[in-house]
Amino acid sequence: MAGIGFELRKLLRSQSYLGLLRAYLYASIISSGPWVFSILGLMATGIISLGVVTPGRMITQFQVTVTYLIMGSLVLSGGLQLGFTRWVADRLFENRKDLIGGAYLGVMLVTTAVAGAFGLAVSLLAFQGVDAFYRVWIVLGFTLLCNLWITTAFLSGLKNYRIIVLLYALGYGASVAFASIGRPWGIDGLLAGFLGGQFLMWGVMLWLVLRNFPVQSPLSLECFRPGRMYTALLLGGTLYNLGIWIDKLVFWFDPGTSRPIIGALRASTIYDLPVFLAYLSVIPGMAVFLVKFETDFVEWYDEFYKTVRSGGTLGAIVGFRERMQDVVRDGLYQILKVQALTLLSLYTFVPSIFRLIGISELYTPLYMVQAVAASFQVMLLAVLNVFYYLDRRREVVMITAALALLNFSLSLLSIHLGSDYYGYGFAVSILCTLFFGLFLLQGLFRRLEYQTFMLQ
């Protein structure tokens, strides 16, 4: 994402308010695009289906199904996104770009096989007695989304952000359009339409990847050989996604906070809507993360290691390390400041907005708690990003494992304490994990020169 951030910075050089607005607008869409467009797409599909798809519960079944598909595919593919992306980066460093296209096709093959088998098992075990076409959409949708997330990881290496923005708009716009066409066929039509748009988006992504990494060797499974991908990255990606979603699973499968929807799928009426809407509040913070935090950090990170490799003085190396620390400190402060202003605005206007769009004001307290938690999550993501750049994979596993464990246990505790405490499990677990990450990061910076030179 830093490569995109450097491109966006060119808009800031115009020193005009229009350039500033364009840069942060693009950054908002690029950094927050996947979940924002998915949330808006699901909401838009539900709205246009009212009165057309009958009975009305099919709309809820469609939205819950897609939510589970997104959650499951992110958890299953999260580790491979990081592991394979690192493998690709190492091949680029070795000037072996010719290996990437064939390896990408091999990853798509393995992902399709594993996700397809997992989706088939779930469709047979968890949806007994459900329409056969619905089961087919479960298998196809789960497989497609796993491939989509992994392919999206490649796009972080492309600097043509205009195409990326148009791609997200095309994919989710097409999903809504196709789903509207499929409304007369009920939930099967809605799922077919939504996945049709996702397939279109994946197809364009595939073209972009293969255009930038042409297949110059046969389909290859080289990256799956033992030791080729870092186990810690595979664990870190899986644990992070599991840690972010596990509170939803706790509320979905607790009988007191959820209800059955279709097959084995359940949903929490009181928890789901404010939680997913809260993620819209992090758009400003994610824009700052992309344009300022990560891009500034990479500049000094490059200077630090260039000086190390070129035999620079210890004073220069220490100076660049201190600049990295300053960037992390200032960047987290900028994210905190932007999100605080956003939360203050939400606190003022959300009750009126909820009344306007027909959402009960009873959701407001939980929404605000989740918006605060989502803001902390942006800061946690920034901290994890620093660990990834510094190649501290063990610390990433420790942090993400702590997040998953805390979110699971504290979410269970919040249910036990009662509805007044709903959402606090996720918020407190994110905050505690953030402090844990900052503690580890501070220690890492203190001994960075030692680890750089003495542990090689």
pLDDT interval class at 427 (50, 70, 90):
very high
Residue 265 phi/psi, 5° resolution?
A: -80, 135
Owner of token pair 């972080």:
156
User: b/e string for 15-44 if b means 16 or more Cβ within 10 A?
Assistant: eeeeeeeebbebbbbbbbbbbbbbbebbbb
Which tens digits make up the pLDDT trace of 113-131? Answer: 999 999 999 999 999 888 8
Whether residue 17 has pLDDT greater than 60: no
What is the mean predicted confidence (pLDDT) over 34-57?
Answer: 75
The pLDDT value recorded for residue 404 is: 97
pLDDT at 426: 96
User: Which residues are bridge partners to 260 per DSSP?
Assistant: 266
**Under a CB-based contact definition with an 8 Å cutoff, are residues 292 and 382 in contact?**
no
Share of the chain above pLDDT 70, in %: 89
Return the pLDDT at 142.
Answer: 96
Q: How confident is the model at residue 379 (pLDDT cuts 50, 70, 90)?
A: very high
Q: What is the pLDDT of residues 325-374, one digit of tens each?
A: 998 999 899 889 989 998 998 888 888 888 877 778 888 899 999 999 99
The whole-model pTM stands at 0.90
User: How much is the average pLDDT of 192-215?
Assistant: 90
Number of CB atoms found within 10 A of residue 305's CB: 15
Q: Could you count the other beta carbons within 10 Å of the beta carbon of residue 412?
A: 15
Of 30, 3, 9, 200, residue with least CA distance to 85? 3
Q: Determine the pLDDT at residue 2.
A: 43
The pLDDT of residue 5 is 47
Helices 364-389 and 295-309 pack at an angle, to 10 degrees, of: 20
Which amino acid is located at 58 in the chain?
A: M
Q: Which residues contact 260 (CB under 8 A, 6 or more apart)?
A: 266
pLDDT score for 410: 97
Mean pLDDT of the 28-45 span: 70
Element housing 379 (H / E)? helix 364-389
Q: Are 334 and 288 in contact (CB under 8 A)?
A: yes
**Lookup result for tokens 């600097």:** 159
In this predicted structure, the answer to whether residue 161 has a pLDDT above a threshold of 70 is no
pLDDT of the residue at 153: 76
**Which pLDDT does position 306 carry in this prediction?**
87
Q: Is the pLDDT of residue 184 over 90?
A: no
Cα dist from 117 to 21, 114, 140, 220, whole Å: 46, 5, 11, 21
Average pLDDT over all residues of the chain: 85
Per DSSP, the three-state class of 313 is: coil
Contact 224, 204 (CB under 8 A): no
Residue with tokens 């047979």: 124
Task: Name the pLDDT band for 248 (thresholds 50, 70, 90).
Answer: very high
Beta strand 265-267 with 259-262 is antiparallel
Q: Is the pLDDT of residue 300 over 60?
A: yes
Distance from C-alpha of 287 to C-alpha of 293, rounded to nearest angstrom: 9
> Taking the mean position of all CA atoms in its chain, how far away is CA 207?
22
Read off the amino acid at residue 326. Answer: D
CA 45/CA 49 separation, integer angstroms: 6
Question: In 3D, which of 335, 34, 27, 323 has the Cα closest to residue 161?
Answer: 27
Tens-place pLDDT, residues 51-108: 667 677 888 899 999 999 999 999 999 999 889 988 988 888 888 888 888 899 999 9
In the 8-state DSSP scheme, what is residue 156? T
234, 240, 242, 244 alpha-carbon torsion, rounded to 10°? -160
From the CB of residue 418, how many other CB atoms can be counted at a distance below 10 Å? 8
